[in-house]
Structure 1
Amino acid sequence: MRMKPLAASIALALTVAPAAFADRDHGHHHGGHHHGHQQGPEMFRHVATFDVTRNRVMHDGEEIVSEVAEIVDATPDGNTLVYTDAASGLIGFVDITDPADPQPDGGILVGGEPTSVAVHGRYALASVNTSTVDEVTCTDPGDDGVFGTGDDESEDIGFITQWTGKLVVIDVTTRSIVREIELGGQPDSIAVSPDGRYAAIVIESERNEDVGDGLIPQGRETVDLDPTPDCDLVSQGDPEPGRLVILDLKGKPGKWSTRDVQLAGLAGMYAAQDPEPEFVDINGANMATITLQENNHIAVVNLRTGKVVKHFSAGEVDLMNVDTEEEDLINLDSDITKRREPDAITWIGDSLMATANEGDYEDENGEEGGSRGFTVFNKAGKVVFESYEAFEHLIVSIGQYNEGRSENKGVEPEGIEYARFGKDKLLFVGSERSNVVGVYEMNGAKPELLQVLPTGIGPEGLRAVPQRKLFVASTETDVFDAGIPTMINIFQRGHWPSNYPQIASADDANGLPIPWVALSDLVGDPDDAHTLYAVSDSFLAKGFVYTVDVSAKPALITDRLEVQSDDALDLEGVAVGPDGNFWLGSEGNAGSVDNLVLKVDRSSGAVLEKIELPADLVDRRRSNGIEGVAVTGEAGSEMVYVVIQRAWPNEGDTDKVNTKIGRYDVAAGTWSFVHYPLEAEGDGDWIGLSGITAMPNGRFWVIERDKGWGPSTPPNAELKAIFEVDLASAEFRPYVQPLPGEEADLVTLDKTLIRNLVSDIAANSIWTAEKLEGFAVSADERLYAVTDNDGVDDSPGETVFLDLGDLATFGSD
């Protein structure tokens, strides 16, 4: 059975774009919608984000800041989250008694790098890696050396690895370590059985990617480099094959005992002597399912007997219409076959299991695994459902496809979780590289998409908390200097519509989602109240204008127009001229890329006119140039307005106070300018302009924003504001380069604050976005705004698309 996402004619109860799937049979696609329950399903909504750096641990008088949240679990009452922080060597706690207001609840150091955690009653069981890896440099003396055959003396690097690990048992109530159990190798995933009788710990003793090109099998390899003194190099991968440790949880922790299950030697594995187990989950029958990722294999162990009762290859997947080239365009034009190589695995009841097919291994032929989707197997190892490219296409349609991963493993599903919420059986699939979680309702063996949830960067841990009607995702990646920490995103389920995505794309004529990212401006169609136009910036190698239908919920991109230009375009502004053609603003840089204003044919994308800024001003340019464009007047005598994002240095302006708004007189072919006074910088880093909109009353509204993200990790999001200026009566003057030490002879505008949209963006996002880039008024005077998601490059990647209501009622918050 083959599936793909459909266009976004979705039942209102779902309020999510391309949500259904179609079968592929003999190369043909057949569509069908999932209509949900009669009264509409309950949906998840984001209610809070916890900044992990808020957590602190005191140790020997020193305050240790929590840095990362990787794997997360919850206490039985669902009021406390427990997470691993390998970077700080601790297990952290978060109080979610009020899920909308999570509070730091401290942590405990565990004497190593925690790799996973699972809660058993009052105890948190943390698998902790205590291994050491030492590099050794050995000199090859030349002709009689072991390495190479040349005459020259050379050096080689080897590794002496001691794989060790332990299980740390923590009393969550007292926040004390009550027992440590040596595991004899590097542990990874841990799971506790539903009945509380067993825990299962994967001992991976993972391969060293710097040994033998990272190929498996790896084992002890002694390289004798004598006569170099004292240089017997042990280049060691696994000291012994990976295995499963069963922990019998009978009685108190002091009485718990362990048993080993060997996983080496299973027939059909790529390297049977080096199994590389990765992830484990346990069902109600006390069967543990384990992924052996590099071997593309799955094993099932009976925890009562400690026997492997089933094992099978995870197989491979034929993918159609995926992007496999990193050319700064999202082109869904490649067909590939990939090994699944699952990372996480989850039982669905006692008879089905689902895998997140991340991929992690490059074989001796240079072929990487990872099939970009997820799979449902029955307990016999037969595939009963395959997502194929549907998961990736879904992510393309919501603007969160990470083009920078196209030549690797695409959206890279890593985490997967299953839970029952009342009668509803839900499957959660996380994309590590696109920062989303797909939520599916299981209809027998077939998942049907309910919604998509945005996350921070690199969702690693997924945990359903059905007793509280919650779902949480922990993310392992930060861009701390920009104001994006690692975080735990909290979602609550209820009878309300989903609030994500807020904008998505329909399918094109070939039945594929229209690709889009990084929306950088917005304008209303002057004649059609339901139509807006958007542009994307230089994240894509070509410039595009997108048609947006705002009568749909979410707003729907129904078409895109490629701008036919050989110039390097960074489209940051769009307006509709009196003749219906587009006027576009393209931001330049401090070097060879020019700031341009383009008039573009709305049907063909052909450039009808190209306008540059005055040479004297260009001589002073910096990277923060044209950011928005607006047009007034009749055809042939238009006035084209642009905003310059920040003051350009050495041009005579008061750099931290003023930037410019430019006006181009089409009939006269001349530029003139005014100064725009910027707000003083706060905790949000620099401040600049990001857009300009011509309003029905003849005034202009501009976007003035800072560079901050979120509320708690500086630089903070403090200013994402709309200001009004009167340009019709302003005195515009030609720009004349001032003498050294003097200011440009330009008039400074007055401005009026209309509204700061920080709270609006915060209420509709998991982490307040930096780039409020587009603002539009529709033909019926309704207001819209959009944020730029930076193409999911060092950003969470969600696009916030705001319907701000009627102009008549819009104002200060």
Structure 2
Amino acid sequence: MNLKKTIVYGASTLGLVAVLAACGGSDAGEQTPSGLGLTKLGAFTHQGGEGSAEITAYDAASKKLFVVNGAVASLDVLNLSNPAKPELLKSITMASLWADAGAANSVAVHQGMVALAVQAIDKTKPGRLIVLRASDYAILGTAVVGALPDMVTFTPDGKTLLLANEGEPNSYGASDSVDPEGSISVVDVSALTLSSANVTLAAKTADFKSFNSQKDALIASGVRIYGPGASVAQDLEPEYITVSSDGKTAYVTLQENNALAIVDVATAKVTSIKPLGYKDHSLAGNGLDASDKDNAVNIRTWPVPLLGMYLPDAIASYSVAGQTYLITANEGDARADWLGYNEEARVKELTLSPALEAFKSDAQLGRLNVTTSLGAVNGVYEKLYAYGTRSFSIWNAQGQQVFDSGDQLEQLTKDLPQAKFNASHSDNKQDDRSDNKGPEPEGVIVAQFGQKHYAFIGLERIGGVMVYDVSQPSRPVYETYINTRSGATGDLGPEGMHFVAADKSPNGKPLLVVGNEVSGTTVIYQINLKY
């Protein structure tokens, strides 16, 4: 771990480099910076409390920032003409756009078009893509998409929209249980213009039906397919999408399944499913603090079969020397709250092998949350599989890992004064999340300035953004860390990050926008490049 840069705290001037949305372009032609910093210009607190500031997207022509407000099922539109004082222009309810609308889950913008991924009130029913005109919010076009569309993104040329349809079940085993298939919708919007009026768009569906017959082989390879009675197509749950710079290939995280789907955009076909494997917490550099009851910061390796499931949420892509690389934020996610099935348990609740039994105290592994879907032989757990890996990873275009940050995120945050180590996003109690995913990296985006690429990893629980120079994909270098929470207040639970390039920015400076889900605040930072 290279600690050549200092950790920087506070809510004013922060050491952070520029960031670019994963589907955006780059500033490769400009001079390479020698240093970077960020100044907090302004913030807006949304109505609705927790869940009211999630995903954001900016339209340069109208100088409007669009923010998904999940708390009240709306799209909040902010005037960003003065980024130091963002002001609410309008709150558009999803019900006003579609009678059967639940919440909007994601938003993306391209040249005056605002694309929304909207789930139905009944999440198991088909959702909608709704495209608005940024200037007056008129509906330009709509498309029927899969169940629970959770993320939407444009291809780099703006001609195609892709949506990750998660397809979560409402329950398992009940008479009214419904488990829709996960899928990726591919929508051609090349004919859509700012003069269009509520055009019905056709969505192609990249589904997983062709993999149903390969269930045993996929499980053997490491893909988690474990929903009771679910087919492969039902069990796979697309979470997040990134698109290659040429727009030809999409890479989709299948979070609960610990896998990656590769999609040919032109044909709307899933070409392969790549298992991500498991992280060995017995190896040097792969430690973790596994207990919230040991009254200490105790980042360590474990001399037993303790494996981490990557289970990534966000994914971003970038190119180095003509090769595509993928970066994942390895959050972890359990199927724990659904009627009829719960895979989550604490280690001490399981019947363990003698080797694991020796580590079942609360101060060791006893409190750690693990899955019951893996590791048992005849009812006795010989291996433990924990949620998330408390890290970010870099993969090549074939889904092979070239780097993992190991235990660096916990090591770097252990001395943070604004929030105690592994604190939750809703309080400031030290060690509170050590038993369950630690700092919980959730979001990631990538930017290029000159010859440097930077990755920005949002830490959902402890808060803040971790920044790495990833110009050499196999040897990332820690750059800096920021956090604008203040104890149990301030900006809590970063969810989505968005970059506004200098030539699109209302003040001529590059901006970073962060939606903080728990505090319901959207924060505007100015990025200052040093040469």
The answer to whether the aligner puts 1:356 opposite 2:350 as a matched pair is no
Out of 463, 473, 482, the residue aligned to residue 453 of structure 1 is 482
Out of 486, 491, 507, the residue aligned to residue 525 of structure 2 is 491
Counterpart of 1:491 in structure 2: which amino acid?
Y
The answer to whether the aligner puts 1:324 opposite 2:365 as a matched pair is no
Aligned 8 A contact 2:32 2:449 in 1: no
Task: Report the CA distance shift for 1:202/1:8 in structure 2 as closer, same or farther (over 3 A).
Answer: closer
Task: Report the CA distance shift for 1:398/1:379 in structure 2 as closer, same or farther (over 3 A).
Answer: same
Task: Report the CA distance shift for 1:172/1:339 in structure 2 as closer, same or farther (over 3 A).
Answer: same
Q: Distance in 1 between matches of 2:45 and 2:525?
A: 15
Instruction: State the Cα distance separating 1:116 from its structure 2 match.
Output: 0.7
- 1:49 aligned residue: 43
Aligned 8 A contact 1:318 1:388 in 2: no
Instruction: State the Cα distance separating 1:107 from its structure 2 match.
Output: 2.4
Aligned pairs for 1:675-694 (under 5 A) are none
Over the aligned positions, Cα root-mean-square deviation in angstroms equals 2.9
Q: Distance in 1 between matches of 2:328 and 2:135?
A: 34
- 1:464 aligned residue: 499
Counterpart of 1:130 in structure 2: which amino acid?
A
Out of 309, 314, 317, the residue aligned to residue 347 of structure 1 is 317
Task: Report the CA distance shift for 1:131/1:184 in structure 2 as closer, same or farther (over 3 A).
Answer: farther
Bigger Cα displacement from structure 2, 170-179 vs 368-377: 170-179
Aligned pairs for 1:120-519 (under 5 A) are 120-132=110-122, 162-208=124-170, 211-212=171-172, 221=173, 233-236=175-178, 238-239=179-180, 241-252=181-192, 254=199, 256-264=201-209, 265=211, 267=218, 268=221, 269-271=223-225, 272-273=232-233, 274-286=235-247, 287-319=249-281, 320-327=286-293, 328-335=295-302, 336-349=306-319, 351-361=324-334, 362=344, 363-365=371-373, 367-399=385-417, 400=419, 401=421, 402=423, 403-445=431-473, 446-455=475-484, 456-467=491-502, 468=505, 469-478=510-519, 486-495=520-529
Residue deviations 1:719-774 (CA, integer Å, cap 9, x gap) = xxxxxxxxxxxxxxxxxxxxxxxxxxxxxxxxxxxxxxxxxxxxxxxxxxxxxxxx
Counterpart of 2:470 in structure 1: which amino acid?
M
- 1:106 aligned residue: 90
Instruction: State the Cα distance separating 1:93 from its structure 2 match.
Output: 1.3
Instruction: State the Cα distance separating 1:259 from its structure 2 match.
Output: 0.4
Aligned 8 A contact 2:454 2:471 in 1: no
Instruction: State the Cα distance separating 1:68 from its structure 2 match.
Output: 0.4
SS in 1 for 2:399: coil
Counterpart of 2:407 in structure 1: which amino acid?
E
Instruction: State the Cα distance separating 1:77 from its structure 2 match.
Output: 4.8
Bigger Cα displacement from structure 2, 433-442 vs 449-458: 449-458
- 2:23 aligned residue: none
Task: Report the CA distance shift for 1:7/1:288 in structure 2 as closer, same or farther (over 3 A).
Answer: closer
Aligned 8 A contact 2:7 2:480 in 1: no
Q: Distance in 2 between matches of 1:452 and 1:190?
A: 28
Q: Distance in 2 between matches of 1:386 and 1:297?
A: 16
Q: Distance in 2 between matches of 1:10 and 1:392?
A: 13
Aligned 8 A contact 1:52 1:69 in 2: yes
Aligned 8 A contact 1:129 1:165 in 2: yes
Counterpart of 1:248 in structure 2: which amino acid?
D
TM-score, normalisation: structure 1: 0.47
SS in 2 for 1:391: helix
Task: Report the CA distance shift for 1:432/1:78 in structure 2 as closer, same or farther (over 3 A).
Answer: farther
- 2:487 aligned residue: none
- 1:40 aligned residue: 34
Task: Report the CA distance shift for 1:318/1:167 in structure 2 as closer, same or farther (over 3 A).
Answer: same
- 1:87 aligned residue: 71
Task: Report the CA distance shift for 1:496/1:184 in structure 2 as closer, same or farther (over 3 A).
Answer: closer
Q: Distance in 2 between matches of 1:353 and 1:38?
A: 22
Aligned pairs for 1:656-735 (under 5 A) are none
Aligned 8 A contact 1:427 1:447 in 2: no
Q: Distance in 1 between matches of 2:442 and 2:461?
A: 9
Instruction: State the Cα distance separating 1:175 from its structure 2 match.
Output: 1.9
Instruction: State the Cα distance separating 1:66 from its structure 2 match.
Output: 10
Task: Report the CA distance shift for 1:39/1:457 in structure 2 as closer, same or farther (over 3 A).
Answer: closer
Q: Percent identity, aligned pairs only?
A: 27
Instruction: State the Cα distance separating 1:324 from its structure 2 match.
Output: 0.8
Aligned 8 A contact 2:126 2:147 in 1: yes
Give structure 2 stretches of 5+ with no counterpart.
18-30, 96-101, 226-231, 335-343, 345-370, 375-384, 424-430, 485-490
Residue deviations 1:507-550 (CA, integer Å, cap 9, x gap) = xxxxxxxxxxxxxxxxxxxxxxxxxxxxxxxxxxxxxxxxxxxx
- 1:607 aligned residue: none
Counterpart of 2:159 in structure 1: which amino acid?
R
Counterpart of 1:243 in structure 2: which amino acid?
S
Task: Report the CA distance shift for 1:76/1:124 in structure 2 as closer, same or farther (over 3 A).
Answer: same
Instruction: State the Cα distance separating 1:179 from its structure 2 match.
Output: 3.1
Query: RCO higher in 1 or 2 (8 Å CA, sep ≥ 6)?
Result: 2
Residue deviations 1:290-316 (CA, integer Å, cap 9, x gap) = 000111000111111222234311222
Counterpart of 2:457 in structure 1: which amino acid?
V
SS in 2 for 1:234: coil
Instruction: State the Cα distance separating 1:260 from its structure 2 match.
Output: 0.5
SS in 2 for 1:393: helix
Aligned 8 A contact 1:74 1:80 in 2: yes
Task: Report the CA distance shift for 1:345/1:67 in structure 2 as closer, same or farther (over 3 A).
Answer: closer
Q: Distance in 1 between matches of 2:159 and 2:236?
A: 26
Counterpart of 2:128 in structure 1: which amino acid?
K
Counterpart of 1:132 in structure 2: which amino acid?
D
Instruction: State the Cα distance separating 1:109 from its structure 2 match.
Output: 1.3
Instruction: State the Cα distance separating 1:182 from its structure 2 match.
Output: 2.1
Larger Cα-atom Rg: 1
Task: Report the CA distance shift for 1:9/1:296 in structure 2 as closer, same or farther (over 3 A).
Answer: closer
Task: Report the CA distance shift for 1:65/1:317 in structure 2 as closer, same or farther (over 3 A).
Answer: closer
Aligned pairs for 1:558-577 (under 5 A) are none
Task: Report the CA distance shift for 1:7/1:333 in structure 2 as closer, same or farther (over 3 A).
Answer: farther
Task: Report the CA distance shift for 1:420/1:333 in structure 2 as closer, same or farther (over 3 A).
Answer: closer
Task: Report the CA distance shift for 1:459/1:8 in structure 2 as closer, same or farther (over 3 A).
Answer: closer
Give structure 1 stretches of 5+ with no counterpart.
20-36, 54-63, 134-161, 213-220, 224-232, 479-485, 498-813
Instruction: State the Cα distance separating 1:207 from its structure 2 match.
Output: 3.7
Instruction: State the Cα distance separating 1:9 from its structure 2 match.
Output: 7.5
Instruction: State the Cα distance separating 1:396 from its structure 2 match.
Output: 1.4
Aligned 8 A contact 1:93 1:105 in 2: yes
Task: Report the CA distance shift for 1:449/1:45 in structure 2 as closer, same or farther (over 3 A).
Answer: farther
Task: Report the CA distance shift for 1:121/1:256 in structure 2 as closer, same or farther (over 3 A).
Answer: farther
- 1:593 aligned residue: none
Counterpart of 1:177 in structure 2: which amino acid?
I
SS in 1 for 2:413: helix
Instruction: State the Cα distance separating 1:496 from its structure 2 match.
Output: 6.5
Counterpart of 2:410 in structure 1: which amino acid?
E
Q: Distance in 1 between matches of 2:93 and 2:528?
A: 37
- 1:663 aligned residue: none
SS in 1 for 2:456: strand
Q: Distance in 1 between matches of 2:6 and 2:498?
A: 30
Instruction: State the Cα distance separating 1:79 from its structure 2 match.
Output: 2.9
Aligned 8 A contact 2:390 2:407 in 1: yes
Q: Distance in 2 between matches of 1:410 and 1:397?
A: 14
